[in-house]
Amino acid sequence: MQLKNDLLLRVIKGEEVERTPVWLMRQAGRILPEYRAVRDSVSGFIELAKTPELAAEVTIQPVDILGVDAAIIFSDILVIPEAMGLPYEMVEKRGPWFPNTVRSESDIKKIHIPDVKDSLSYVLEAIKITKKGLNGRVPLIGFAGAPWTIFAYMVEGSGSKTFSKARAMLYQEPVLAHSLLEMITIATVKYLKAQVEAGANLVQLFDSWAGILPPDHYREFSLKYIDTICNAITEVPVTVFAKGAFFARREMGELNCDVVGLDWNMDISESRELVGNRKVFQGNLDPAALYGSEDSIKAATSRMMASFGGARHIANLGHGLYPDLDPGKVKLFIDLVKSYPR
């Protein structure tokens, strides 16, 4: 189907565009009253994500309400460990929790590389329903967690400020760590390819906990596996967003990906020098800037847009939307980007 709004894909291809495309990480979520109404109709986040019709509905909401230039399928990065045999729960105000973790060789033997078309069929069905509902209005983004970030949850068992158990394994049991990372990588490649087959126009890898590793460990235990995934996904453009990995920007420029996401602590001109000109940048307004007044949001948006200098750029935040942000101010940011002169 021909896309009515293909700005995002044209920027990635290096074609001329009339304005900078914009979408937001976590745009389908708690800032929207319409999302909360759907969420309240089920038992919680996981049921919502596993109900394809509802997942499609909340995926499309930001396109209708905020006017973004892309939809991103409503799901969770932790569906991969669950499909591998490590189920999780979403604890209100605390986040994900795994009753079982992977700490030993015997634990690894209890998990498996899944048949993603079976175990993750609900995500693939949500993509198909979303594509039908979008009717070519904007592209649909599929996504997965980067292997290190998934590994961190599978070993730690929950979110953490330090992920000390996961990081300890890299020092104490590096061979075991690589075995788990390889399994996650194989599963992730299968999952992303299935998303593309279901209709995703591009995919994004989220390495949410990239910034807690030292550079040498990041190269060995994260970048290596991201590289494998980027090389495997040849059907559609790939975006890599590694939060906090300011020390790996030069290596990001060498990945076989199309787009590099920048968090709000990564200076734009310095990043361009390190990454080079071959990659499209995505980002990178501080999400907290949207707590400011309308005037301060206008100033912050103008500074960001000017810093990118009209180069190949997908406007976004430097991380996901915070749940207590005012939807009106989020919409203001999107409209400011759309009206910014090229």
Provide the number of structural domains found in the chain: 1
* Full domain range(s) for residue 95: 7-339
Q: Does the residue 221 lie in any domain?
A: yes
Amino acid at 216: D
Active site residue 35: no
Alpha-carbon distance 53 to 143, whole Å?
18
Q: Are 112 and 85 in contact (CB under 8 A)?
A: yes
Tell me the pLDDT of the chain (342 aa) as tens digits: 799 999 999 999 999 999 999 999 999 999 999 999 999 999 999 999 999 999 999 999 999 999 999 999 999 999 999 999 999 999 877 889 999 999 999 999 999 999 999 999 999 999 999 999 999 999 999 999 999 999 999 999 999 999 999 999 999 999 999 999 999 999 999 999 999 999 999 999 999 999 999 999 999 999 999 999 999 999 999 999 999 999 999 999 999 999 999 999 999 999 999 999 999 999 999 999 999 999 999 999 999 999 998 778 999 999 999 999 999 999 999 999 999 997
Residue of 6, 35, 103, 153 marked active site: 153
Active site residue 94: no
Count of Cβ atoms closer than 10 Å to residue 214 Cβ: 11
Q: Does the residue 1 lie in any domain?
A: no
Q: Does the residue 16 lie in any domain?
A: yes
Active site residue 76: yes
3-state percent breakdown (helix, strand, coil) of the chain, nearest 5 = 50, 10, 35
Q: Does the residue 2 lie in any domain?
A: no
Q: Does the residue 236 lie in any domain?
A: yes
Q: Does the residue 57 lie in any domain?
A: yes
Q: Does the residue 261 lie in any domain?
A: yes
Residue of 10, 19, 26, 137 marked active site: 26
Q: Does the residue 32 lie in any domain?
A: yes
CATH of the domain at 237: 3.20.20.210
Alpha-carbon distance 90 to 96, whole Å?
4
**Does the predicted TM-score (pTM) go above 0.85?**
yes
Active site residue 303: no
